Amino acid sequence: MWEMLDGDMNGFEVWMYLQCIQTNDDVELYSFIGLCRHRSAPFDNFIPLKPDAGVAFDARADAARACRQLARSAIDGKRPVGSGDPMSALPPCSDKTSAESCRSGERVAPLH
């Protein structure tokens, strides 16, 4: 499920979808996909945020901190942001569910 990390970072909302990517010897590692969008922008107008390939975090708090840092850099224009559609990393929809309904809230928490 999407989690709002910040509701007003210079007028932007910052969202994160946390993923457990590996469990080894009772050690869970996490990755995330994130997005930020201006609060007045339509839902489909967002900046995707992705950590560098191969980066994993030991704790949810570390992943959230990294997502906020990526958002801050993207908003300030200091770092190129991740490419691609953050929704593509979400679990697939059932065959009975259209892609549009998945994007509009069945898999993703509403952003407003």
φ/ψ of 23, rounded to 5, equals -125, 120
Stated pTM of the model? 0.65
Mean pLDDT, 10 residues at a time, over the chain (112 residues)?
90 92 77 90 84 87 93 79 45 39 37 38
Distance in angstroms (rounded) separating the CA atoms of residues 72 and 58: 22
28 and 18 Cβ atoms separated by less than 8 Å: no
